[in-house]
């Protein structure tokens, strides 16, 4: 594994490294860890990388790694840069023969995401998108129960992602994470939807098994002086006729990382909270509520495969991230060894989810700017 971005001055790089290392299947062998030369070198040394494989720009890294013998060079690269710096290194990595793991949202624009899909088809490489929340075992349990028809036809989806960390103008106070997320040149068309709204959208489609077809959106900039939105609400229509409500805000002062989803069908509903991830509630129309817990013997095979500890031993964000990496690595290893994996339990988000996320952002922005009540999900207009 190689890494682009994620040096000692970054948050998410360490999360990726912990997740990748969790199962002993990956070794970090090289990195271009910062656009700052000194930070890149210092970060590489702190991770005990060989001096000759600490790079100060991704172009040099991808070029030199591609020239190494097959058994020595990296097999894949993880890209953990801000949104605007995903596309170019991903395209070059694929051209040089490397598989790719990339942070969400997948690119800065939908057009870039579609180009990336074409490049993947051309090269035959794998791409993993780290939509972390689909890695939780109880999220997979919820998806399987809906797929198996336990709730009947799905009628309603509520998904909320509430944070409070941008309640003040942190981008003017030296917070680099806030600065690039709220800069349209670096973060994209929407800050709140690009950063956390895509997670809520992805979770709603993943668990329900449905696809959004139309949106009715309201985006707001609640903090004066901010360039992009920090709050939004979206009405959703799904391809089976179900309706939904998605709320994403980063100005809910006092909230931490409050991602919640509720899905209701003909027979009952389910409820999952990211801050209490080991519990899944099933609420029935005609019988008492059931409580499912991670790590127990009552779960589906895919939930068991993605459970790492016995029941009653909490696991959370890092383990969910680790599941994404493990499933990607098992799939990549099988590809390299010309074998196969059990796709019913080994899965990870890829280019499809990346494109749908970018199309969601465009759809929401279009709807917010429109005077019409409903705006078509833009992917329907993309060939």
pLDDT tens-digit profile, the chain (383 residues): 999 999 998 889 999 999 999 999 999 999 999 999 999 999 999 999 999 999 999 999 999 999 999 989 999 999 999 999 999 999 999 999 999 999 999 999 999 999 999 999 999 999 999 999 999 999 999 999 999 999 999 999 999 999 999 999 999 999 999 999 999 999 999 999 999 999 999 999 999 999 999 999 999 999 999 999 999 999 999 999 999 999 999 999 999 999 999 999 999 999 999 999 999 999 999 999 999 999 999 999 999 999 999 999 989 999 999 999 999 999 999 999 999 999 999 999 999 999 999 999 999 999 999 999 999 999 865 54
Please tell me the pTM assigned to this model: 0.96
Q: Phi and psi dihedrals of 376, rounded to 5?
A: -60, 145
Q: Are residues 103 and 18 in the same domain?
A: yes
Residue 299 lies in a domain: no
As a whole number of angstroms, the distance between CA 289 and CA 201 comes to 26
Q: Are residues 23 and 82 in the same domain?
A: yes
pLDDT in tens, 24-68: 999 999 999 999 999 999 999 999 999 999 999 999 999 999 999
Residue 172 CB neighbour total at 10 angstroms? 13
Q: Are residues 125 and 8 in the same domain?
A: yes
b (16+ CB within 10 A) / e for 184-194: eeebbbbbbbb
Residue 144 lies in a domain: no
Residue 116 lies in a domain: yes
Q: Are residues 361 and 248 in the same domain?
A: yes
Residue 302 lies in a domain: no
218, with CB counted inside 10 A (0-12, 13-18, 19+), is middle
Q: Are residues 361 and 223 in the same domain?
A: yes
Residue 376 lies in a domain: no
The enclosing domain of 187 has a CATH number of 3.30.360.10
Q: Are residues 108 and 221 in the same domain?
A: no
Q: Are residues 227 and 185 in the same domain?
A: yes
Residue 301 lies in a domain: no
Residue 204 lies in a domain: yes
Q: Are residues 247 and 189 in the same domain?
A: yes
Q: Which residue segment(s) compose the domain that 166 sits in?
A: 153-265+350-368
- Considering its fold, how many domains does the chain have in total? 2
As a whole number of angstroms, the distance between CA 215 and CA 234 comes to 6
Q: Are residues 359 and 217 in the same domain?
A: yes
Residue 202 lies in a domain: yes
The enclosing domain of 73 has a CATH number of 3.40.50.720
Q: Are residues 119 and 259 in the same domain?
A: no
How far is the CA of 46 from the CAs of 49, 51, 181, in angstroms? 8, 11, 27
Q: Are residues 109 and 66 in the same domain?
A: yes
Q: Are residues 123 and 39 in the same domain?
A: yes
């Amino acid at each position: 594994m190689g890494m682009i971005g994620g040096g000692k001055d970054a948050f998410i790089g360490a999360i990726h490294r912990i997740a990748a290392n969790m199962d002993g299947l990956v070794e970090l062998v090289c990195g271009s860890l910062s656009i700052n030369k000194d930070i890149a070198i210092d970060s590489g040394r702190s991770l005990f990388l060989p001096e000759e494989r600490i790079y100060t720009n991704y172009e040099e890294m991808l070029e030199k790694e591609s020239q190494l013998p097959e058994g020595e060079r990296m097999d894949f690269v993880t890209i953990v840069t801000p949104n605007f710096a995903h596309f170019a290194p991903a395209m070059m990595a694929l051209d040089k023969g490397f598989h790719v793991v990339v942070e969400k949202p997948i690119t800065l624009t939908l057009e870039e995401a579609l180009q990336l899909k074409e490049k993947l088809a051309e090269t035959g490489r794998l791409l993993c998108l780290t939509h972390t929340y689909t890695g939780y075992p109880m999220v997979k349990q919820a998806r399987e129960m809906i797929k198996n028809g336990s709730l009947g036809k799905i009628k309603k989806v509520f998904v909320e992602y509430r944070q409070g960390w941008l309640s003040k103008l942190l981008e003017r106070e030296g917070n680099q994470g806030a600065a690039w997320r709220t800069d349209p040149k670096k973060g994209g068309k929407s800050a709140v939807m690009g950063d956390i709204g895509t997670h809520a959208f992805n979770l709603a489609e993943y668990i329900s098994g449905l696809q959004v077809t139309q949106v009715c959106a309201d985006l707001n900039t609640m903090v004066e002086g901010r360039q992009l939105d920090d709050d939004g609400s979206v009405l959703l229509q799904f391809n089976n006729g179900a309706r939904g409500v998605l709320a994403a805000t980063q100005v809910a002062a006092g909230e931490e990382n409050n991602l919640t989803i509720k899905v209701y069908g003909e027979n009952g509903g389910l409820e999952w909270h990211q801050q209490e991830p080991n519990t899944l509630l099933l609420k029935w129309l005609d019988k008492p509520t059931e409580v499912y817990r991670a790590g127990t013997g009552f779960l589906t095979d895919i939930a068991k495969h993605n459970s790492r500890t016995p029941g009653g031993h909490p696991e959370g964000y890092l383990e969910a991230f680790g599941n994404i990496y493990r499933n990607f690595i098992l799939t990549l290893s099988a590809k390299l060894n010309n074998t196969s994996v059990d796709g019913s339990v080994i899965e990870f988000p890829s280019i499809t989810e990346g494109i749908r996320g970018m199309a969601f952002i465009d759809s929401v922005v279009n709807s917010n700017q429109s005077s019409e009540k409903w705006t078509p999900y833009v992917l329907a207009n993309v060939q």
